[in-house]
Structure 1
Amino acid sequence: MRSIIFFTIYVSFALCKDYSNYKVFEIMPTRQQLDSLMKWEFEAGIDFWSTGEANKPSRVMVSPEIEQLFLQFLNLNDIQHKMTIENVELVLENDKIARLNSRAKRNTFIEPNFRLYWSYNEIENFLQRLANEYPDLVKKDVIGQSIEHRNIHGVRVSRNAEFGKNPIIFIDAGTHAREWAGIHSALYFLHQLVENSTVTNELLDKVDYVFVPVVNPDGYAYSFTEDRLWRKNRRYVNYTCQGIDLNRNYAYMWRYRENSCAGTGYPGAYALSEPETQAMAAYMQSFKYNFKLYLSTHTYGSLVLWPFGFEFIYVKNHKEHHLMGEKFRDAIYEATGTLYRVGNSADILYTANGASDDFALAYANANFAYTLELPGGGSAGFDYPQSMIYDLVRETFIGYRQFGLHIKERFN
């Protein structure tokens, strides 16, 4: 058995993208320096692990090919920085060995096991089991198919025979392939909502829920087997680059970025060019008659962000957005000591066009919309160690629950 485990580890390493000599730098830009720094988001070989924020550390992975040019830029602009990871490949190898060994010790996968990261097939099986075992609560939809023809699953949860009579909360995750912790946090909340009668009675009393746990199934599957740090979908663009950043591809205030296809933030050739965003846009808009809250779950940064993000323009009900975000923040802080920051996306971070939360508010008639950036973990940030994931999903549940209670009170 031990030889089989090591053979599996060897083969999986051989198949994966090699990040040898990729480095990670912690960068502390001022507000004036931030805009010029974020232009590197569209450069090949540059990968922002934590989203840029003025006067706070940003973590950026840099390929060996562009390292000297990037360092010249930092030095010429007097941007404070330091190297935090000298060789990304070593970090990924250690993490993968730990995950595979943990799987080997639990040689039978008993769902739901939230101490492990699940493959996409395991996620699909979990969703189907919920639909089969709880037909009065759960309805599973195939809302579309990805570039590689995987099903994109939506799940509706309601006590009513007619879905949507109650205020609707819509939760998604997995827009960015590598953000596994966000996916499993959404799945854990779905599990509690359906399979924990106390939570069911409390939160489904006067609220209906929609989940899309994996918006980007191709990217997620690819990050599981080929490239742990893959972010985009799997669209073939040309021989030099592949993939669209789905959270830059929504129709509201979409913006074309010339010569950016090799970067991690490439928004595509036109708005809603991707089957994943087309499916999501149609699914969101199908609930616009009673759409109260949209939550898009990402990693990482410990942030609760409200619209708009495309420009320094606040949504009309920004004060109520902020107060509800503070309830999420305070509930988690009181329970675990983890502190989130609440604020406008553009203010806290930087402007970004074509994001899903802006779309939900502007085109799907949501009353409230947030992007949640969960905390980072381990030396790689979004690469949350499997050994810590159970604590994180339970912590995030506290925040999701607080949102549910607020919507229940606010609209009833």
Structure 2
Amino acid sequence: MIYFDNSATTKILPDVLSTYDQVSEKIWGNPSSLHKLGEPAWNLLEQSRRQIANLFGVLPSEIIFTSGGSEGDNWVIKGTAIAKHKFGKHIITSSVEHAAVRNAMAQLEELGFDVTYLPVDDQGRVSVADLKAALRPDTILVSIMAVNNEIGTIQPIKEIGEVLNDYPRIHFMVDAVQAIGKGLDDLVFSDRVDFATFSGHKFHAPRGTGFVYVKQGRQLAPLINGGGQERGLRSGTENVAGMAAMARAVRRVKEKEITSVANEKAIKERIAKHIQTFDHVHLFSRLDDGFAAHVLCFAIEGVRGETIVHAFEEREIYLSTTSACSSKKQAEASTLAAMKVPTKLAECAVRISLGDQNTLAEADQFNQVFDKVYAGFKKIID
């Protein structure tokens, strides 16, 4: 079995699962309780927070635990809207964001906020000049993802931050769900980024875990009110076992990040250079440094994406049609649509997304299977 759908989710690591199980069994007190069962739970929660903060070079108080990327995206977007609506109701984002961002923006539009959706070029990248031109006196938030989840485009986060240096009151959020463990920390945690969102199940942590980097001093209203947990920003009894397991997963990913990224790049190149020799194959992801090493999006013209996915699934190779959030809905890839890729070709797109457990041997096996799958599609293509 070859698993090439790591951008959708990753398999929890054995020692991460062991951490979750042990904490669930042995440290089950409520961290907010004053008695001796609550104290170790609180201490472990804060130890996990410090570990994550140290790995990224930020303050422990700047790490707020959540249930994942969608919650994080919604919280920063709507929390900014609540906190800053008196100063303006204009938000800037890109036309290629994840559904958690797009749908949160749509909800705010229904409430009277004005959202500018920046166009992208033929590589799925926004223009810094376009962003600068879109800024207004009433702009309160700019939200741009670090790495596109469909084709792997790396957005110009540092350059956008440089523009926003002249606008210190505007919040700058980065959806970094696809960036963790990919050698992009300098991008995500650059000086001008105020918020960055992360999802645990993208890096071998349990599902239902995540965190948001919230720069010290930035004003953000909570979406979940209650007992005042997480500095009053995210109430609810903390998932201590999940957060301890996630902290271990972050450490594991960071320990081998350099070698993992180099390996993913080599796998991507081996597959891309093989399949691009075939007629009717279109590559949407590039091999240069403007694209993340772990995402390869391509199409076989004339064959729908779901047909390609199932053809590989029959041979126990698992990939997806663009993002997992839209694949079952058979939706056209929003990124490719924004890039003005013809609809019929966009409907043929599939995504390989690599992880630190994939190998070059799997790339070679994929290429062998691709030859057979492509041959089987010849009567459809020709």
Higher RCO structure (Cα 8 Å, ≥6 apart)? 2
Q: TM-score range by the shorter chain?
A: 0.3 to 0.5
Give TM-score, length-normalised by structure 2. Answer: 0.35
Query: What is the TM-score with the length of structure 1 in the denominator?
Result: 0.33
